[in-house]
Amino acid sequence: MPPKSKKTGKKKPGKSAAASSKAKDATGATGGAKDVDKSTTKEEEEKDMTHAYADDLKTDIYTDVNANPKALVHATEWRKIMNGTTLDEEACARPSSTTTTFATGRLTDRLARAGDPVEINPSVGAGMKIMTVDEWISRWKPNERFPDCLSCGSTNTKEHHFSQTWCRGKKKFESETICCECHMWSWRSYADPDFLSPEEYDKLKWEKMVQENATRLKDARVEDAAAESVAAAA
Ligand SMILES: [Zn+2]
């Protein structure tokens, strides 16, 4: 078995990313004026790195639009919240003398809140609460690099899942956003054609080493045998 390599940080680009940004910085410096405001250069570098995962792509980004999240994270909560919508639709579709006695506004409000409770964001409070979609996603941030909803084109979206991996200059990322207008989920993922995870890279390296060792051992045995036969002949 190959030795387990350390997990790479998900949000943080690895060493190779930092190295490539330095290289970029260096090429920029040769063309530009010397001694430009250093803080600006630093700011630019940081700004560059935020979305660097989506720069200089070698192939297409895979996209997908779904009514439910593709990333596992939040899938359970989404189902709970959607339970409310199902109830809402069922109740509205079924004409009933008891429901029509409610004032329309109150009825909608009551039914829209009929989902299963989900966990309250720990930074706001504790426990479970029945929430609307808008309330549930209110604390999520947009992805400024990919703000468009792939279903309706609105840029009023929020991201719930993001990961990026850099390994020896090759990159891979995943992003999923929800549209605040149509509540559809937009998925984007990408990997360089020759991307290898650190684990895969180490495995290949290890296998190559084992193979080289085996060949070397075999060669040594052949040499030994040859030396013996020479000795015997002498
Ligand atoms: Zn939309």
pLDDT digits (tens, 9 = 90+) for 153-184: 999 999 999 999 988 889 999 999 999 999 99
| Most confident listed range (15-19, 33-37, 57-61, 101-105) | 57-61
- Side-chain-side CA neighbours of residue 132 (13 Å): 11
pTM > 0.85:
no
**Cα 176 to ligand 1 centroid, rounded to whole Å:** 13
**Calpha distance 41→106 (Å, rounded):** 55
Helix (H) or strand (E) holding 187: strand 185-191
**Cα 158 to ligand 1 centroid, rounded to whole Å:** 11
Q: 21 phi and psi, to 5 degrees? A: -70, -35
Tell me which residue of 36, 41, 6, 38 sits closest to 21, measured CA to CA: 41
**Cα 169 to ligand 1 centroid, rounded to whole Å:** 34
**Calpha distance 174→139 (Å, rounded):** 20
pLDDT of residue 84: 62
Q: Where does residue 142 rank: exposed (0-12), middle (13-18), buried (19+ CB within 10 A)?
A: middle
**Cα 138 to ligand 1 centroid, rounded to whole Å:** 16
- Over residues 27-85, the pLDDT tens digits come to 333 334 444 455 555 655 555 678 889 998 999 999 999 999 999 999 999 999 888 65
**Cα 67 to ligand 1 centroid, rounded to whole Å:** 11
Looking at per-residue pLDDT, the higher value among 104 and 39 belongs to: 39
Neighbours of 188 (CB within 10 A): 20
**Alpha helices (H) along the chain:** 15-31, 38-50, 75-93, 104-112, 133-137, 198-233
**Cα 77 to ligand 1 centroid, rounded to whole Å:** 20
Confidence of residue 110 (pLDDT cuts 50, 70, 90): very low
Token pair, residue 93, equals 């579709």
The answer to whether residues 53 and 195 touch, using CB atoms and an 8 Å cutoff, is: no
Neighbours of 172 (CB within 10 A): 17
Looking at per-residue pLDDT, the higher value among 163 and 16 belongs to: 163
**Cα 79 to ligand 1 centroid, rounded to whole Å:** 19
The answer to whether residues 148 and 155 touch, using CB atoms and an 8 Å cutoff, is: yes
3-state DSSP assignment of residue 142? coil
**Cα 6 to ligand 1 centroid, rounded to whole Å:** 39
Residues in Cβ contact with 204 at an 8 Å cutoff, skipping those fewer than 6 apart: 196
**Cα 140 to ligand 1 centroid, rounded to whole Å:** 16
Residues with beta carbon < 5 A to ion ligand 1?
149, 151-152, 154, 179, 181-182
**Calpha distance 52→18 (Å, rounded):** 10
State the DSSP code for 164: E
**Cα 181 to ligand 1 centroid, rounded to whole Å:** 5
Helix (H) or strand (E) holding 172: strand 170-179
Q: Is the pLDDT of residue 90 over 60?
A: no
Looking at per-residue pLDDT, the higher value among 122 and 42 belongs to: 122
**Cα 183 to ligand 1 centroid, rounded to whole Å:** 6
pLDDT of residue 74: 92
**Cα 58 to ligand 1 centroid, rounded to whole Å:** 28
* Whole-number percent of the chain with pLDDT over 90: 39
In angstroms, how far apart are the furthest CA atoms of the chain? 114
**Cα 164 to ligand 1 centroid, rounded to whole Å:** 24
The answer to whether residues 224 and 23 touch, using CB atoms and an 8 Å cutoff, is: no
State the DSSP code for 95: -
